[in-house]
Amino acid sequence: MSAVTSHASYCIHLNPDLSDLDQIYIENQILALIGDEARKMDSKTDPFDNLDVLVTAAIQNGKIEDAPASKQILEAQLMNFATPLPSTINSIFWDKHLINSREATDWFYNLSKANNYIQTRAISKNLKFTTKSEYGDLEITINLSKPEKDPRAIAAAFNTPQNDQYPLCQLCMENEGYLGRIDYPARSNHRIVRFNLGGQTWGFQYSPYSYFSEHAIFLDQIHEPMEITRQTFVNLLTIISTFKDYFVGSNADIPLVGGSMLSHEHYQGGRHNFPMFKAPIEHDLKLKSFPNLKAGIVKWPMSVIRISSNNKKDLIDAAEMIREKWQEYSDESVGIRAYVNGERKHTVTPIAHRNGDEYTLEIVLRDNQTSEKYPDGIFHPHQDVQHIKKENIGLIEVMGLAILPGRLQTELSEVKKFLLNQDNEIKESHRPWAEELKSKQVWNKDNIEAQLNQAVGDVFSRVLEDAGVFKRDDKGKVAFMNFCKKIC
């Protein structure tokens, strides 16, 4: 069978908008993209390997340049044939959801992998391991599928006026089916499930570069900035009522402590039991206005208040009360200031999940102050750990999953050589850390992998402690309790 025929058959199998009568038509559409000369190229058994054959043919036939953007655009175009129309996607999804929400998300997730929208091959390159900490297990990923982001560039993008770019950002619904360009990702095979949230149309999709199981994105149809308000808590609890097996959370809505897309209102969710969810309550709280609601300080490196109830209104009201109190709260004794020169410095990172009929909100207190000593952020990874992690500590890291830059794959291999007294090209930024590791432990070929992984996890634990507004020492714990008196 030829590669063209094989791909056309794969598309017909996946796409309910097509039937066997469309075989010749789809083959000709493929040839229009890659060149008629590809008709006799042999197929591969794996559909994605076969996709590579077609892309190679297009390069050989002069249809596209041998460049990453050109290849990605063609891949998405070819996989668009395998992808149902948006109307079909929405019809099938909600028909399945009427029967079982899990069946609906399973179908959409599996389709998003099968049509190569979720970049499973790129994701498989990421390095993953788990490390121990006093807060429980932490999850580490060295991200080899996407480049590292600079926090200051993220903040600059947030403050830059919108221009006539189309789509306005990568979270806009206008990305659905968008061809892509050299400086913008290909989205021909991208689809969005629509739903009503707070009287507005929102979209549900999966992340093309998933960091955890069924990494989903919920996005506002309107391109407007992130904002944490009472409506945020309403939205989060509504989403986990609709998508019953998923957690959902929002990045903070101000630079340095927020995520990478502050210009477009959105949340992230999925099916994953994060380390923070497993962390115990270390100090119970009694919220006097909500006597039937469970509350407490979580044993976690960041400053987290957990509230739980089967009464969603109480939970929403309590979360908003905590947010409002925190937004105006200052404590000079621990460097916490609600406003600096009239600019708001406080917000929260809220995360919702459920256990049966009980709903839980994790309210993570955030502060984005900077100083001469800490220009990247006082409550941000400090300079001595930025050799491992410099990016913003957003929603995913907050919950205990480190997304570390791909540069570490090469850099840590040189650290290993250094620790084993081999010739190496260790970066100077890692040297103080590596010298400390060498002085404290015995290193050999049998233990280096496990010990270095644990050392990276220890740095991540410190990163989270840096981002915590109330530190884990006695002074910080007293200060945290003083804030809690304002809500109890």
Please state, rounded to an integer, the average pLDDT across all residues of the chain: 95
Write phi, then psi, for 238 (nearest 5 degrees). Answer: -65, -40
| Residue 375 belongs to some domain of the structure | yes
| Residue 425 belongs to some domain of the structure | no
| Residue 222 belongs to some domain of the structure | yes
What one-character-per-residue DSSP string does 204-235 give? EEE-TT-SSTT-EEEEESS------SHHHHHH
- In the predicted model, is pLDDT for residue 412 greater than 90? yes
- Of 80, 101, 134, at which residue does a domain stop? 80
Write phi, then psi, for 133 (nearest 5 degrees). Answer: -155, 170
| Residue 151 belongs to some domain of the structure | yes
Mean pLDDT of 270-288: 97
* Omega within 30 of 0 (cis) for the link into 167: yes
| Residue 414 belongs to some domain of the structure | no
Half-sphere exposure of 116 (CA within 13 A, CB side): 27
Question: Between 396 and 182, where is the model more confident?
Answer: 396
Tell me, yes or no, whether 94 and 18 share the same domain.
no
Q: How many domains does the chain have?
A: 3
Tell me, yes or no, whether 60 and 131 share the same domain.
no
| Residue 385 belongs to some domain of the structure | yes
- In the predicted model, is pLDDT for residue 152 greater than 60? no
pLDDT of residue 258: 75
Question: Phi/psi class of residue 356: alpha, beta or left (left: φ > 0; alpha: ψ in -120 to 50)?
Answer: left
Q: Give the model confidence (pLDDT) of 339-361 as tens digits.
A: 999 999 999 999 999 999 999 99
Q: Give the model confidence (pLDDT) of 156-167 as tens digits.
A: 555 655 567 899
Tell me, yes or no, whether 22 and 158 share the same domain.
no
Tell me, yes or no, whether 394 and 383 share the same domain.
yes
Tell me, yes or no, whether 112 and 176 share the same domain.
no
Q: Give the model confidence (pLDDT) of 210-221 as tens digits.
A: 999 999 999 999
Burial class from Cβ neighbours inside 10 Å (0-12, 13-18, 19+) for residue 209 reads middle
Q: What CATH number has the domain bearing residue 360?
A: 3.30.428
Mean pLDDT of 100-121: 97
What confidence tier does 155 reach under pLDDT thresholds 50, 70, 90? low
- Of 80, 104, 135, at which residue does a domain stop? 80
Tell me, yes or no, whether 265 and 384 share the same domain.
yes
* Residue 62 structural domain: 3-80
Q: Are 256 and 282 in contact (CB under 8 A)?
A: no
Q: Give the model confidence (pLDDT) of 30-53 as tens digits.
A: 999 999 999 989 999 999 999 999
Tell me, yes or no, whether 177 and 320 share the same domain.
yes
Tell me, yes or no, whether 113 and 157 share the same domain.
no
Q: What is the DSSP letter of 456?
A: H
Tell me, yes or no, whether 193 and 289 share the same domain.
yes
Tell me, yes or no, whether 292 and 236 share the same domain.
yes
User: What is the rounded CA–CA span in Å between residue 277 and residue 363?
Assistant: 12
Tell me, yes or no, whether 147 and 33 share the same domain.
no
Tell me, yes or no, whether 27 and 134 share the same domain.
no
- Of 104, 119, 134, at which residue does a domain stop? 119
User: What is the rounded CA–CA span in Å between residue 488 and residue 483?
Assistant: 9
Q: Give the model confidence (pLDDT) of 50-91 as tens digits.
A: 999 999 999 999 999 999 999 999 999 999 999 999 999 999
